[in-house]
Structure 1
Amino acid sequence: IKCGKFLKESCRKEDIISRWGGDEFAILLPKTADQVAIDLITRIQECCRNNDNDRDNITLSLSLGASTKTDIKKDINSILKEAEENMYKNKFLTTANISNNIIDSLQIALWEKSHESKDDLDRVKKLALKLGRELKLPEGELDKLGILSAIHDIGKVAVLENILEKKVNLSEKDWKILKRHSEIGYSIAKSSNKLAPVAEAIMAHHEWWNGNGYPYNLKGEEIPIISRIFAVVDAYDAMLNDRPFKKAISKDKAIEELKKLSEIQFDPCVVNFFIKVIS
């Protein structure tokens, strides 16, 4: 509906807009030169950008292509085929950017519906990278750790806001819904060339060292190292800062809690190094 509205706003009165397949449109531009068609494509793209005020903050993106009939003998079907080929060329060239823009939009949407802010994520990221360097992670893994710290909960965009904001214990049904965010996050990350390298780590960031985590009960070193690092840092930061459902505790108490959960929830080696980092 939104797509059709933008096309109508961008086109001239004499242009004919029609549905072409499930998610495609075809626009017939009578007596129109190449440059005018290109200008229309630019106008449609600008209309999408300028009207991107959806309440869910999800960016609308369109792939567009055009072809002009300059020979009266040329068949209309060949013109449509050329336009479609040009559209797919443009789609191929812009897919990576579109995908990454959508990820950014999802991240903004998540900040708006959860208790975490960009400052919270930046704080955790900084501490996670400090621990990663202490553990002598290679640069490539440090890069992935930074990305994981920023978008680990991206799957929560698919979780209802009233579940995320509950201050009492979740029902079994709500808990099952919430736990799916790791797998949803994995699927979102796999769709982006930028995030695909951390997809497995996103799915594993709630796994426990003893195998009692979710979603796949991974244990020990089956869990990616960056997920194990992030789990410790995130838990520590959560304990030190007020949350809607829990008050902050002191640094000493947080360290005691990490020690208590070492070899249960957390990698004992990571916990030991982390305590050195923050002491």
Structure 2
Amino acid sequence: QHLSQTLVSVSRQGDVLARIGGDEFAIILPSTTSEQSHSFCERIKKACQQDKIEPIYLRLNISLGYATQEGEYKEINSLLKVADRKMYQDKLFSAKSREKHFLEAFRIILAERDPHTEDHAQRLQELALSLGNKVGLSEYQLGNLKLLALLHDVGKIGIPDNILFKTYILTPSEWKKMREHSRIGYRMAKNIPDFAPIAQEILHHHEHWDGTGYPDGLKGEKIPLLSRIISIIDAYDVMQSCRPYKGG
């Protein structure tokens, strides 16, 4: 109802608004060019962006597509198919934009916690792509590996500063708390659709081949492949950068 009210407020007199599915609407715009249709879609998006309804997750998030009857006559169903394809392209673009916003937010938060984090993540991404190509990962796997290089330690956001930045040996209780960062990162990632594909890899990036790692003591090939790769290059980068290794 909230969306339909927004669409009505943007529509002109004579435009025909109809629901064609559970959460899909179609609007017929008489005597409207392709450029005018594009402008109409932009007005709808602007109206949705100005939505101030609370809580925030109830605010409108919309993807749009359009098709125009110009020149040779086209069946209404063929026009709907064109508009539908454009709508899914818009949805895909919006999803990638959301992912970029999430990544940027996490990057800033991690960099604020630890000034070394940003440079470390950049080096890890380069090393990850190099090693990933060497072992023959697919493009999809390489994309996830690059994302994992940036977010594998995101759970450290939930670790207190007095533990995270301690310069001498952690006590057993502090070490137990530090180890929780992999589970914290897992919970964060699995609840964000764009990052859910690497949630298990975040959880297990401190497992060891011999089963002495954490949190689940996985051994050998039971450890996710991308987790194994990140573990190797993370240790390598730490040794190369001459800073204390707290990865465990």
TM-score, normalised with respect to structure 1: 0.54
Other-structure match for 1:127 = 127
What is residue 212 of structure 2 aligned with on the other side?
212
For the residues of structure 2 that align with 1:228 and 1:128, how far apart are their CA atoms? 11
1 CA distance for matches of 2:159 and 2:101? 21
Contact 1:127 1:233 in 2 (8 A): yes
Counterpart in 1 of 2:60?
Answer: 90
Q: Secondary structure at the match of 1:198?
A: helix
Q: 1:167 to 1:226 in 2, by over 3 A?
A: same
Say if 1:99 and 1:191, in contact at 8 Å, map to a contact too: no
Any idea what SS the aligned residue of 1:201 has? Answer: helix
Query: CA offsets per residue over residues 31-88 of structure 1, 9 Å max, x none?
Result: xxxxxxx97972859xxxxxxxxxxxxxxx953xxxxxxxxxxxxxxxxxxxxxxx84
Indicate the SS of the match to 1:90.
coil
Q: Deviations over 1:89-117 (max 9, x none)?
A: 71687996668645532331122112533
Q: Matched residues in 2 for 1:42 and 1:219: separation?
A: 51
Q: Looking at both structures, which has the greater relative contact order when contacts are Cα pairs under 8 Å and sequence separation is at least 6?
A: 1
- Residue equivalent to 1:157: 157
Corresponding residue of 1:183: 183
Asked if 1 retains the 8 angstrom alpha-carbon contact of 2:210 and 2:220, the reply is: yes
Deviations 1:191-211 (A, max 9, x none): 112111111100010000011
4+ aligned runs moved over 3 Å, structure 1: 38-41, 91-104
233 and 105 in structure 1: CA distance in 2 versus 1, 3 angstrom threshold: same
Residues 62 and 107 from structure 1, CA distance in 2 versus in 1: closer, same or farther, beyond 3 angstroms?
A: farther
Q: Is the 8 A contact 1:205 1:230 kept in 2?
A: yes
Deviations 1:134-164 (A, max 9, x none): 1111111111111100110011101111211
Equivalent-residue separation in structure 2 for 1:40 and 1:146 (angstroms): 33
Aligned-partner SS, 2:212: coil
Q: How many angstroms does 1:119 deviate by?
A: 2.3
**Which amino acid in the other structure matches residue 146 of structure 2?**
G
Work out whether 1:241 is the aligned partner of 2:211. no
8 Å CA contact retained: 2:51, 2:59? no
Whether the aligned pair in 2 keeps the contact of 1:114 and 1:164 (CA below 8 Å) is: no
Q: 2:136 and 2:106 mapped to 1: Cα distance?
A: 32
Counterpart contact for 1:100–1:194, Cα < 8 Å: no
Aligned residues: 172
Identical pairs, percent: 36
CA deviation map 1:15-40 (0-9, x unaligned): xxxxxxxxxxxxxxxxxxxxxxx979
Q: Counterparts of 1:5-154 in structure 2 under 5 Å?
A: 42=50, 63=56, 88=58, 90=60, 101-102=101-102, 104-154=104-154
Aligned mates of 1:140, 1:148 — CA distance in 2 = 12
Alignment partners' CA distance in 1, 2:108 and 2:124: 17
The corresponding residue for 2:173 is 173
Alpha-carbon RMSD across the aligned residues, in angstroms, is 3.2
Where does the alignment leave 5 or more consecutive residues of structure 2 unmatched? 1-45, 64-90
Map 1:215-234; keep pairs closer than 5 Å: 215-234=215-234
Q: Kindly provide the amino acid, as one letter, of the partner of residue 187 in structure 1.
A: R
Task: Work out the CA distance in 1 between the residues paired with 2:49 and 2:111.
Answer: 33
Residue number in structure 1 paired with 2:32: none
